[in-house]
């Protein structure tokens, strides 16, 4: 049985932690590897390596850093298929879906390649007689990322390219459920010319997480995961003096107005709900059907849910793979049963799906629930699976009220042909990322990703301009260069621009 090791100071490292955890192939249900779980001592080893590397990497030229990023981007493109299959084998998503997440992650690398323009400071001449002011930003030091299982390549790529390109060194703690992508990326960085110790990977559970959150040598922590853990990460790390990005869970609504093209809306909502088996924080988990749109929308959604091709992620033509673990499969199928007992109409029942030749895989089919109310568990809980709940309302303002009353505020979408309705929706809804006729409104890399309310703990979104600010700190320099032998009278009053 293969053991997946850590990556510290430029090479695979067994570590000192005695424990390992199983890594499954979700399509077969079989254990395919073990992953080493880091001890606090292993985390300390990684921090020590990253601290030493920071001394030289932080002083490297911007040209050197961006050259590494350009080379890394090229390697990501060349090895996209291989990395996609690694992700599919451990996560369960289709290879096409995995390639898609690599592409979205690579866009952040491309943003990092252009940091020369973004990092330019500003200069003010003659703010006072003979006095100038300029500013610039410098890296923090050793920073860390703690990332979830659902996007083992993309979410880390939202963090480390910007952190590294701005001069920091990085420690990644990926999910132990699908750890191999992180090590593969580490190998690509080494081939791209990144010095040893700048990018490190430690695998593990709570002991590794706590060691990162409390280590005095770590300056900042980025996290994506569930809201309860995001709160824990934020509270623990800030209590130990660190900057924190903590992105939590979601319950994303897609509102469909009667004037929308129902075929178009249903097609995109189906993809948004069941893509990646619903295991993404931007998945469409609630369709809010407004007025007369409801019956027609549910009819089309039913048909499209039945057309979704479910099977092993490495089979061409498959659109939805298995869930990541047996526990996830059981939780999602139990939620469908609970919805039925609470009064929801199970229009499409994905429970009990068996795939020929993969009977032990963690498969469940798409489920569609109608007449769901906001009091039902299927609405209130983040199911993180291929379950779409339909909530019926009378008007757009009522739909906005439903969304605003929800504790989450990650993403939302509106399907309509009305510019007035779209404008009213995007101004009044209390959500961080909004799509108009776009079901999964993940912003491009040069914007920042982050929700409102319980979807973002603290106030630091990820990548884009907010990512630059998070991984750097500013300096403002005020200078005076008097002529030789010139006497300048010092004032005892508070300095002004006069």
Q: Among all residues, which ones are annotated catalytic?
A: 281
Name every residue whose Cβ is closer than 8 Å to that of residue 4 and which is 6 or more positions away in sequence: 23, 33, 34, 35, 36, 179, 180, 183, 203
Q: What is the DSSP track for 377-414?
A: HHHHS---SSEEEEEEESSHHHHHHHHHHSSEESEEEE
What is the DSSP-derived secondary structure letter of residue 441?
-
Q: What is the DSSP track for 314-379?
A: TSTT--B---SSHHHHHHHHHHHHHHHHTT-EEEE--TT---TT-TTS-----EEEES--TTSHHH
How far apart, in whole angstroms, are the C-alpha atoms of residue 242 and residue 471? 11
Q: What is the DSSP track for 5-62?
A: PEEETTEEE--S---EEEEEETTTTEEEEEEE---HHHHHHHHHHHHHHHHHHTTS-H
β 30-36/252-256 pair status: unpaired
The H or E element that residue 224 is part of is strand 220-224
Tokens of 66: 């961006």
Q: In what order do the strands lie in the sheet with 456-457?
A: 11-13, 6-8, 199-201, 169-173, 142-146, 220-224, 243-247, 456-457
Bridge partners (DSSP) of residue 198 are: none
């Amino acid at each position: 049985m293969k053991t997946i090791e850590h990556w510290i100071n430029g090479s695979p490292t067994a570590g000192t932690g005695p424990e390992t955890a199983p890594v499954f192939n979700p399509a077969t249900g079989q254990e395919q590897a073990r992953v080493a779980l880091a001890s606090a001592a292993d985390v300390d080893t990684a921090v020590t390596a990253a601290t030493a590397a920071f001394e030289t990497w932080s002083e490297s030229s911007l040209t050197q850093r961006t050259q590494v990023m350009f080379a890394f981007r090229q390697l990501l493109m060349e090895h996209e298929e291989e990395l996609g299959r690694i992700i599919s084998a451990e996560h369960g998503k289709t290879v096409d879906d995995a390639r898609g997440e690599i592409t979205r992650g690579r866009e952040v690398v491309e943003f990092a390649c252009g940091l020369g323009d973004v990092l330019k400071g500003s200069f003010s001449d003659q703010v006072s007689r003979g006095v100038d002011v300029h500013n610039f930003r410098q890296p923090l030091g050793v920073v860390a990322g703690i990332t979830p299982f659902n996007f083992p390549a993309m979410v880390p790529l939202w963090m480390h390219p910007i952190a590294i390109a701005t001069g920091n060194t990085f420690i990644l703690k990926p999910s132990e459920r699908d750890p191999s992508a992180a090590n593969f990326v580490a190998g690509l960085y080494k081939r791209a010319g990144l010095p040893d110790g700048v990018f490190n990977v430690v695998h593990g559970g709570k002991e590794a997480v706590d060691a990162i959150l409390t280590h005095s040598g770590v300056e900042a922590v980025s996290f994506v995961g569930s809201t309860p853990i995001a709160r824990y990460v934020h509270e623990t790390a800030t209590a130990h003096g660190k900057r924190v990005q903590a992105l939590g869970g979601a319950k994303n609504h897609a509102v469909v107005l009667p004037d929308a093209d129902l075929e178009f809306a249903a097609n995109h909502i189906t993809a948004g709900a069941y893509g990646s088996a619903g295991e993404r924080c931007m998945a469409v988990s609630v369709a809010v059907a407004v007025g007369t749109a409801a019956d027609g929308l549910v009819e089309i959604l039913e048909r499209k849910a039945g057309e979704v091709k479910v099977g092993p992620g490495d089979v061409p033509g498959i659109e939805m793979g298995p869930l990541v673990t047996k526990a996830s499969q059981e939780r999602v199928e139990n939620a469908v049963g609970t919805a039925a007992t609470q009064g929801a109409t199970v229009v499409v029942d994905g429970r009990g799906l068996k795939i020929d030749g993969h009977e032990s895989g963690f498969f469940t089919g798409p489920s569609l629930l109608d007449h769901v109310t906001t009091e039902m568990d299927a609405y209130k809980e983040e199911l993180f699976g291929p379950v779409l709940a339909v909530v019926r309302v009378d008007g757009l303002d009522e739909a906005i009220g439903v969304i605003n009353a929800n504790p989450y505020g990650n993403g939302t979408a509106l399907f309509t042909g009305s510019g007035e309705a779209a404008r009213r929706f995007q101004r009044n809804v209390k959500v961080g990322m909004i799509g108009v006729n776009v079901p999964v409104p993940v912003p491009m890399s040069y914007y920042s990703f982050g929700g409102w309310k319980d979807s973002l703990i603290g106030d630091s979104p990820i990548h884009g301009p907010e990512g630059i600010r998070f991984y750097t700190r500013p300096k403002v320099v005020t200078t005076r260069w008097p002529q030789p032998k010139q006497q300048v009278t010092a004032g005892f009053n508070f300095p002004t621009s006069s």
